Amino acid sequence: MKPHLSHRPRRLARRVTVAGMAAAALTCTMAAPAVAEDHAATMQALKASKTGPGAAVYAGDRTGSWSLQVGTGQLYYDKPIQPTDRFRAASQTKTFTAAVVMQLVDEGKVELDAPIGRYLPGVMTGNGYDENKITVRHLLQQVSGFPEMNPPGAITGGTIALADLVKWAVTGHPSTAEPGAKVQYSNANYWVAGLLVEKVTGMSAAEAITSRIITPLGLTGTRYPQTGDLSIGAPAVHGYLGGWAGPFYAWTDISNFIGYEPSQWATAGAIVSTLKDLSTFYRALFDGKVVSQAALAEMQKTVPLGEEGFGLGLRRWALPCGGYVWGHNGVFPAYLSYTGVTSTGRFVSMMTNNGDWAGMQKVLYSALCEDGTS
């Protein structure tokens, strides 16, 4: 199977047929006492979504948090997925990268509507790309003209410098649209954004994201792995691919397989995190603790694509109970996750450990709309 981090944007999750779900577990840590019945609709949606070995939801509002689990984070063990268990956050990395770029905008070191050639001359030229037309905003909003792509060594492994990854993307994948013309979700946009961060800060992208976001927010379960580090770190959620072996449906643990080489995914998808840390990050972002309110407002300027709105490192979905949820998803064969927040302070972070989740959207809606409001 070809690893697919980028995830086509028209749907929050893709359909999959999997084996049955294991027993369910509930944990509540709210300001007021809570019991399972308080979140029965979300638990029902979680159980009915028929994911792989395990799935979990961590949600709440400004008064407290709660979590739900079904199945296990490691086959053959009774290990429900906890909010502090680590997994590969995949494309949720993009929001971290966008936030660092917007910090540089706040600092006057980057202009959002400046051409990328001002900062990275000679990088986005040829093959239909024009460094004088493609802006920083175009990259963050997925409207630069890059087509969808996965890294060159997603199957074979091997390390690669970010500059070489960008060169491979530009020279090997002709532009398929004029800058600003349409959304084309591509990892390459965020590889270039990462290269911009490195050029302006003088740090590696990993150092910049760590020193500017991970450490200040106290995200102790989050890290940007170094080149060559395929590990997740304990406590880890094991990721699985499922398939038929004769009459049996079997799961293969691919948590540390070679396709996870961090340098291949880089600023588009390298980060390892937890449900709790991801919710902390997105909540801090919307509370003005990561970028200025002006910068956040720019991140929330969207272009439409189907039911979604694409901002700068953020994706917006309308909720059935009114309002919107802002966040990002992460997709890889063994993991699928999503984190989002609302304007009223509600939040949700959820994941499954088989990389596909037919009922993810229903779980999201249930978690954020339990009392009929968002």
Whole-model pTM: value is: 0.90
The token pair at 218 is 């106290």
Distance CA 128, CA 170 (A): 9
Rg (CA), the chain: 20
Distance CA 286, CA 49 (A): 29
**DSSP assigned state of 372:** S
Cβ pair 55, 49 in contact under 8 A: yes
- Cα 59–340–52 angle (5° rounding)? 70
Residues of the chain with pLDDT under 50: 1-36, 155
Question: Residues of 66-88 as b/e, b for ≥16 C-beta within 10 angstroms?
Answer: bbbbbbbbbbeeebbbbbebbbb
Distance CA 250, CA 241 (A): 8
What is the per-residue pLDDT across 168-201, written as a single tens digit (0 to 9) for each? 999 999 999 999 999 999 999 999 999 999 999 9
The token pair at 342 is 């609302």
Q: What is the pLDDT of residue 260?
A: 83
**DSSP assigned state of 98:** H
Q: What is the pLDDT of residue 157?
A: 62
Q: What is the pLDDT of residue 345?
A: 96
Q: Phi, psi (5° rounding) for residue 217?
A: -90, 0
Q: Would you call 372 exposed, middle or buried from its count of C-beta atoms within 10 A (0-12, 13-18, 19+)?
A: exposed
Residue whose C-alpha is closest to residue 191's, from 278, 261, 295, 269 = 269
Q: What is the pLDDT of residue 35?
A: 45
Question: Active site residue: 91, 255, 349, 366, which one?
Answer: 91
The token pair at 66 is 């709660």
Residue whose C-alpha is closest to residue 137's, from 116, 122, 117 = 116
Residue 113 pairs in a beta bridge with: none
Cα dihedral angle (239, 240, 241, 242), rounded to 10 degrees?
-150
Q: What is the pLDDT of residue 272?
A: 98
Q: What is the pLDDT of residue 10?
A: 38
Residue whose C-alpha is closest to residue 143's, from 305, 1, 2, 344 = 305
Residue 58 pairs in a beta bridge with: 67, 349
Instruction: Identify the three-state secondary structure at position 129.
Output: strand
Q: Is the peptide bond before 225 cis (omega within 30 degrees of 0)?
A: no
Residue 347 pairs in a beta bridge with: 60, 341
The domain 1-374 is placed in CATH, from the list 3.40.50.300, 3.40.50.10140, 3.40.710.10, 3.30.200.20, at: 3.40.710.10
Q: How many CB atoms lie within 10 A of CB 225?
A: 20
Token look-up 């893709």 returns: 14
Chain-centroid distance of CA 243 in Å reads 25
Distance CA 90, CA 264 (A): 12
Residue whose C-alpha is closest to residue 344's, from 146, 63, 94, 125 = 63
Distance CA 178, CA 146 (A): 9
Q: What is the pLDDT of residue 38?
A: 81
- Cα 232–208–97 angle (5° rounding)? 75
Instruction: Identify the three-state secondary structure at position 46.
Output: helix
The token pair at 60 is 């709440």
Q: What is the pLDDT of residue 59?
A: 97
Distance CA 86, CA 221 (A): 7
Q: Phi, psi (5° rounding) for residue 152?
A: -65, -30
* 91 among known catalytic residues: yes
Q: What is the pLDDT of residue 358?
A: 80
